[in-house]
Structure 1
Amino acid sequence: MKTTLASLTLCLVALMATGFPFERKGGSPSSGTSKEKRVRYAAWDDVNVIAHGLLQLGQGLKEHVDKTKVQMRDISTKLKVFNGTVTELGKESQRLRAEGEALKARALGLEDREGRLLNVTAELREKTEEMQQERKTVSERMSRLEERVDSMLQGDGVLPDTNAARNSSDARIIQLMLEAQNRRIDDLVERIRLQQEKLDKQNVRIRTLQSQIQQTKQRPTLKSKADGSVQTGSTEQRDSPVEMASDCHELFLRGETTSGVYTIQPLNAQPFEVFCEMTADGGWTVIQRRQDGSVDFDQLWQAYQKGFGSLNGEFWLGLEKMHSMSKDGGYILKMQFTDWNNDIASIRLPFRLGGEETKYSLHIQDTGTFSPLEVSLATDATSGLPFSTRDQDNDQKNDTNCAKHLSGGWWFSNCGRSNLNGRFFQSPPPKQRHQRKQGIFWKTWRGRYYPLKSTAIMIAPAEIENKS
């Protein structure tokens, strides 16, 4: 840049010099002739053209300099952004390494714990075998004693009082020992069963952690796209997602023990959020909750199909989501009720739910006998009970729309047995009979005209029944 400006300056000086007259001396001094003066002038128009060209050139150079400064500032900004991105990537890489190490340590801890549990289980089994052998020995001794007593009775006819008292005492002692041994053996068998369940849960957790560790190892370096960041030709890879659980009980088996909102994905269905009620037995997927009357349950068919309310408050999960989980059967339906004295009752029924083509018919498995509490729903639903709302009358009462006559959508039979989606009434209930029968009721517990304080409906795989 400086060399260009210097060259332009020299050219300008030379051109200016040609614009003024100058003298040239000619001849020899000894000739005696007078000095000859020759004057040369440049054309004024040429000077103006050259000057104008120089001005345009200078203006162009100034614009080029300004543009270069702007480009340098942009490059400096982009370099700063790039340096920040590199720093963030370094931190993220360190965090991922730390997470991987933590997961590895946790997996190793679980494996050690599993080994200890296996050792404890082996010891318990050895003790059980020893006690069973001891039980067998005591049984043999008891048999020999009984044979001895029988032989004495057959030989003497009447057993002496002292011998009878002694033998009776020995028999009583042996019987008590046998009972104590039986109790100890039953206790050991129960402990072994509990240890086996814990081992199964630990195995599920270990597999989950191993999957997470694998995902962490395969996770690509994160890329941030900022303004002016350098684009590379490499193809960005995505993390392969961990397979979602199909229900809350599967989440429980993976190690989740806190009740709350989770995302699940039943087979051949889209993922959706549910509220999981985690208990000591397993995980229950809540499909309905009534507790304060904050949500109006007098909704139309489409609302009951898709669901409404808040998962952290009152809600109806949705018939289609319920169908996606329980369509193949093998599920338990649990209904829990609370009255205004805070007394609680609940029922559990094996069921499956049909699809939209069956009006989401509820099928309760016929167990032969139902308890009085279960009769309000189970008896009518053994052959399938379709769902009804006030805009879709599918109940079994020909002359009345039960959902419209009462309130809310439900698996109605003849309008009078149960309705957990009715209107929420605070205690005391309304005095008018036609209003009370529109409330939340379960006829075989507190009667048709008693509005319940709260209800909850939840489902879980049938295997949870074997552990409760």
Structure 2
Amino acid sequence: MRCAPTAGAALVLCAATAGLLRAQAGAAPPPPEPPRFASWDEMNVLAHGLLQLGRGLHEHVERTRGQLGALERRLAACGAACQTSETTGVPSAHPQRPGAAPAAAAGGEVAPEILRDLQTQLKVQNGRIHQLFLKVAQQQRHLEKQHLRIQHLQNKIALLAPTHLDNGVIQPATKKRLPKMAQPSGLAPNATSLHKLPKDCQELFEDGQRQSGLFQIQPQGSPPFLVNCEMTSEGGWTVIQRRQDGSVDFNQPWEAYKAGFGDPQGEFWLGLEKIHSITGDRGGRLAVQLQDRDGNAKSLKFPVHLGGEDTAYSLQLTAPVASELGVSVATSNGLSLPFSTWDQDHDLRGDLNCAKSLSGGWWFGTCGHSNLNGQYFHSMPHQRQQRKKGMFWKGWRGRYYPLQATTMLIQATEDKEAS
């Protein structure tokens, strides 16, 4: 009787493992080395590997024991048949060689005894493997507990760490990172000025600045921040949005639109809180510059008043502009449009989330009038349903025409001028 090669391999592997453990237990302690702590990922991989090894050995032993049981039953049946053949005098189908042991004795006594010995050894090895499997599982539970303790300590450390000021909004160090405004290299022309910073680009213009560019401003009650000032014959305008090449993803949540994101020297959104701090209670004028895919341009200007976060940064509009942007019925705040994002739905549609259905954050009326923060398309999509998710201004090129570039600017004015 020959044991299957797989069973022999399992016995050799188990014997080698036991010998290695005994050798490690009896070996002299190695010289002290600098402590090296394994990472959680390394320990987790090791624990899972040992568990898989234990399961594989356990399944292999069980399968081998079943095969040996089947062989024992077959040999026992053969031995009984041989004994019956000798008793009845029926000759065996295979003549015995001279000096060979009787088949009944070989099949009924020797082979079952050898099989029983093998099964006993397999049971012992299986028990050892099972114990090893339990120890590995216990160690993995200990590792998981240690990992939870480490996470708990890390959270405590994060709470003790000082918070950082990010774009005028205090955020805990452990808060999920949102896209934020990139800081260009180099200082703004007035960054090192010892004088009081201007409250907006218009004040810069009134102080004699005629060159457009990046400047530091500080509206009343707000920390300083960097803005793009565009100086024109009508005064200083603050650029609050620019789309030109699709380099920035504008499909952002509420907090990102509130704080601002992108690159002020490329595509960006200034931030609702910053825009509100510029206009304050004074109101202002909003300029919208549009460009189609043939190079044609359109410029719109209209008076607006932007509310604070308690109004969802609502735009209060005059009747003609409100009609063009999709406000047909006055709300409690008059003719106004609140700002909406996919995670904060404030649009005027009760049955649909415009920001989620289209893309980006915007002052949505009924979803179909304008959206300059929609998806940027480098080429014209073929499907009509896809095109409506782009940047569009229905009053100029229609809802299903994705624009090539847009710029939005704001200029704070006195209330009497904005009305």
Please state whether the residue corresponding to 1:375 is helix, strand or coil.
helix
What's the CA shift for 1:379? 5.7
- Report the residue type matching 1:285 in the other structure: T
Aligned partner (choices 209, 212, 224) of residue 256 of structure 1: 209
Aligned partner (choices 360, 363, 366) of residue 414 of structure 1: 366
Counterparts of residues 196-211 of structure 1 (less than 5 Å): none
Alignment of 1:454 with 2:405, yes or no, is yes
Corresponding residue for residue 375 of structure 1: 324
Corresponding residue for residue 284 of structure 1: 237
| Native 8 Å contact 2:325 2:365 kept in 1 | no
What's the CA shift for 1:377? 5.4
Return the alpha-carbon distance in structure 2 between the equivalents of residues 379 and 260 of structure 1: 38
| Native 8 Å contact 2:278 2:412 kept in 1 | no
Please state whether the residue corresponding to 1:395 is helix, strand or coil.
coil
Alignment of 1:442 with 2:363, yes or no, is no
Please state whether the residue corresponding to 2:381 is helix, strand or coil.
coil
Alignment of 1:356 with 2:309, yes or no, is yes
What's the CA shift for 1:461? 2.9
Alignment of 1:339 with 2:287, yes or no, is no
Return the alpha-carbon distance in structure 1 between the equivalents of residues 292 and 329 of structure 2: 24
Return the alpha-carbon distance in structure 1 between the equivalents of residues 358 and 412 of structure 2: 32
Q: 1:277 to 1:395 in 2, by over 3 A?
A: same
| Native 8 Å contact 1:329 1:353 kept in 2 | no
Alignment of 1:426 with 2:378, yes or no, is yes
Return the alpha-carbon distance in structure 2 between the equivalents of residues 248 and 380 of structure 1: 34
Return the alpha-carbon distance in structure 2 between the equivalents of residues 255 and 384 of structure 1: 35
Please state whether the residue corresponding to 2:256 is helix, strand or coil.
helix
| Native 8 Å contact 2:327 2:365 kept in 1 | no
What's the CA shift for 1:327? 2.5
Return the alpha-carbon distance in structure 1 between the equivalents of residues 242 and 329 of structure 2: 23
| Native 8 Å contact 1:329 1:351 kept in 2 | no
Counterparts of residues 134-283 of structure 1 (less than 5 Å): 241-283=194-236
Number of matched pairs: 224
What's the CA shift for 1:269? 1.2
Q: Alpha-carbon deviations, 1:292-315, whole Å to 9, x = none? A: 111000000000000000111000
Return the alpha-carbon distance in structure 2 between the equivalents of residues 258 and 357 of structure 1: 36
Give the ranges of 4+ consecutive aligned residues of structure 1 lying more than 6 Å apart after TM superposition. Answer: none
- Between structure 1 and structure 2, the one with the greater Rg is 1
Return the alpha-carbon distance in structure 1 between the equivalents of residues 338 and 277 of structure 2: 16
What's the CA shift for 1:352? 1.1
Please state whether the residue corresponding to 1:257 is helix, strand or coil.
coil
Return the alpha-carbon distance in structure 2 between the equivalents of residues 393 and 418 of structure 1: 16
Aligned partner (choices 353, 368, 373) of residue 401 of structure 1: 353
Q: Alpha-carbon deviations, 1:218-244, whole Å to 9, x = none? A: xxxxxxxxxxxxxxxxxxxxx994111
Percent identity between the aligned chains?
Answer: 54
Return the alpha-carbon distance in structure 2 between the equivalents of residues 380 and 295 of structure 1: 34
Return the alpha-carbon distance in structure 1 between the equivalents of residues 193 and 225 of structure 2: 19
Q: 1:289 to 1:379 in 2, by over 3 A?
A: farther
- Report the residue type matching 2:351 in the other structure: D
Corresponding residue for residue 387 of structure 1: 339
Return the alpha-carbon distance in structure 2 between the equivalents of residues 456 and 240 of structure 1: 29
What's the CA shift for 1:343? 1.2
Q: 1:378 to 1:292 in 2, by over 3 A?
A: farther
Return the alpha-carbon distance in structure 2 between the equivalents of residues 379 and 457 of structure 1: 23
Aligned partner (choices 320, 324, 341) of residue 277 of structure 2: 324
Q: What is the RMSD computed on CA atoms of the aligned residues?
A: 2.5
Return the alpha-carbon distance in structure 1 between the equivalents of residues 409 and 326 of structure 2: 15
Corresponding residue for residue 114 of structure 1: none
- Report the residue type matching 2:232 in the other structure: T
- Report the residue type matching 2:221 in the other structure: N
Return the alpha-carbon distance in structure 2 between the equivalents of residues 321 and 294 of structure 1: 22
Please state whether the residue corresponding to 2:368 is helix, strand or coil.
coil
Q: 1:240 to 1:286 in 2, by over 3 A?
A: closer
Q: 1:455 to 1:377 in 2, by over 3 A?
A: farther
Return the alpha-carbon distance in structure 2 between the equivalents of residues 326 and 250 of structure 1: 12
Q: Alpha-carbon deviations, 1:38-87, whole Å to 9, x = none? A: xxxxxxxxxxxxxxxxxxxxxxxxxxxxxxxxxxxxxxxxxxxxxxxxxx
- Report the residue type matching 2:259 in the other structure: K
More helix by share: 1
| Native 8 Å contact 1:290 1:314 kept in 2 | yes
Please state whether the residue corresponding to 1:421 is helix, strand or coil.
coil
What's the CA shift for 1:281? 2.1
| Native 8 Å contact 1:309 1:316 kept in 2 | yes
Give the TM-score of the pair, scaled to structure 2: 0.50
Structure 2 unaligned runs (5+)?
Answer: 1-189
Structure 1 unaligned runs (5+)?
Answer: 1-211, 213-238
Return the alpha-carbon distance in structure 1 between the equivalents of residues 240 and 200 of structure 2: 12
Return the alpha-carbon distance in structure 2 between the equivalents of residues 240 and 346 of structure 1: 34
Return the alpha-carbon distance in structure 2 between the equivalents of residues 240 and 442 of structure 1: 41
Return the alpha-carbon distance in structure 2 between the equivalents of residues 426 and 380 of structure 1: 36
